[in-house]
A and B are shown apart, each in its own frame.
Chain A
Amino acid sequence: MRRNGYVYLAFAALSLYLLLQSCQGEEAIRKAQYTANGQKLYTSHCQNCHGAKGEGLGALYPPLTDSSYLHEHRDQLACFIKHGLSGPIEVGGKAFDGEMPAMPQLTPIEIAYILTYIGNTFGNTEGFYSQEEVQQALKMCENTAR
């Protein structure tokens, strides 16, 4: 009986540990999964202009390595991708005034993949973008007359 008690205790401890671990690990796993999916989409939709290392090209296409720009505009990035961007902006201390084409065909989950990839590559540490966050962000810009 005493021995069984130890076994139960050990089992309960292990379960608790696994449960905690999985809660913590879930986001990390999702982040890894989103990053992997995002890389494929980045290659086909973004890399031509922004480069394989997010380095941009001259004063034509801005780099994606300016972490503070990404952080400050976190809630606008989804709209940039879906609806495009034009007008003057400053990224990495350089002025850009081109036109980024809209990609209306991208779904919120695809945009979440792309943002998670960009946000955690090229030296960026923005963390995980969920589909919900993207949907919320898109609502904001789709409400303001565009």
Chain B
Amino acid sequence: MQKIHFIAGICGLLMAFISGCGGSGTEKLPILGSREPVEKEVDGKIVTDTVYHQIPDFQLLNQDSVRISSQLFDNSVYIADFFFTSCPSICPIMQRNLLEVYNEYKGDPRVKFLSHSLDFKHDSPAVLRAYAQKLGVTNDQWQFVTGTKAEIYGLADSYMVYAKEDSNAPGGFDHSGYFLLVDKDKHIRGAYDGTDKAQVELLRGDLETLLKANE
């Protein structure tokens, strides 16, 4: 008899564990990057708060030769990546995959896209504009931007993307093909290999999770 109670107990525990892991739809994405504890005084008491890694403010030139700032992305979730128009290696795969996500969310003001060109010499706004049109981007939801070398490569660091000029790499730039999912507060909530279909599927799921959390 005792044995039966024991088994029932184990089963109960297991059930509780499984349903606990299920998460009942209130999934929360992590905030990526470094974090620092900051002590501040609230009502005379010392409180420790966490400051999370954040994309710094930026101003960059887009495909319409308009200087856009990070404020453009204040009220939306956005997906960022780094590429260049003459890239023969991973960029076509990345942009092919991102185009699918763009087409899904076209017209949805909650989602934006931001592609940074690493080729600050060749990829002028006019070149970026022609590229965007040929890719099939028809509205300003997807921004293609260029800036000085310091601006773009500094931002790549903030997005935790490896990027380097390298004459040995195909096209002259060596970089990683990550898509970064950024929330309204400019926190990175996910990083996905843009050349991998399965990872892009993950991005789709996380994007939905983030949008639901914003509702």
Q: Which residues of A contact B (CB under 8 A)?
A: 48-49, 51, 57-61, 98-99, 101
Tell which of B86, B93, B135, B136 touches A48, judged by Cβ atoms closer than 8 Å. B93
CB contact under 8 A between A60 and B88, given known A48-B93, A51-B96? no
Closest residue to B136 on the A side, CB-wise?
Answer: A58
CA distance A72 to B135 in the complex (A): 27
Residue of A48, A49, A57, A61 contacting most chain B CB atoms (<10 Å): A48
Residues of B within 8 Å of A51, CB to CB, are 96
Interface residues on B, range: 10 to 19
CA distance A60 to B85 in the complex (A): 10
Minimum CB–CB distance for A80 against chain B, Å: 15
Say yes or no: A57 contacts B86, CB within 8 Å. Answer: no
Tell which of A49, A58, A101 touches B134, judged by Cβ atoms closer than 8 Å. A58
Say yes or no: A60 contacts B89, CB within 8 Å. Answer: no
Residues of A within 8 Å of B90, CB to CB, are 48
Tell which of A59, A61, A101 touches B133, judged by Cβ atoms closer than 8 Å. A59
Say yes or no: A58 contacts B99, CB within 8 Å. Answer: yes
Residues of A within 8 Å of B99, CB to CB, are 57-58
**Interface residues of A: mostly helix, strand, loop or mixed?**
loop
Say yes or no: A101 contacts B88, CB within 8 Å. Answer: yes
Say yes or no: A48 contacts B134, CB within 8 Å. Answer: no
Say yes or no: B86 contacts A60, CB within 8 Å. Answer: no
**Interface residues of B: mostly helix, strand, loop or mixed?**
helix
Q: What are 16 A-B interface contacts by the 8 Å CB criterion? A: A48-B88, A48-B89, A48-B91, A48-B92, A49-B92, A51-B96, A57-B95, A57-B96, A58-B99, A58-B134, A59-B134, A59-B135, A60-B134, A60-B135, A98-B134, A99-B86
Q: Which of B67-118 contact A (CB under 8 A)?
A: 86, 88-93, 95-96, 99
Minimum CB–CB distance for B111 against chain A, Å: 20
Residues of A within 8 Å of B86, CB to CB, are 99
CA distance A59 to B138 in the complex (A): 13
Say yes or no: B88 contacts A57, CB within 8 Å. Answer: no
CA distance A98 to B135 in the complex (A): 12
Residues of B within 8 Å of A101, CB to CB, are 88
CA distance A58 to B96 in the complex (A): 9
Minimum CB–CB distance for B126 against chain A, Å: 14
Q: Which 5 A-B pairs have the closest CB atoms?
A: A59-B134, A58-B136, A60-B134, A49-B92, A48-B92
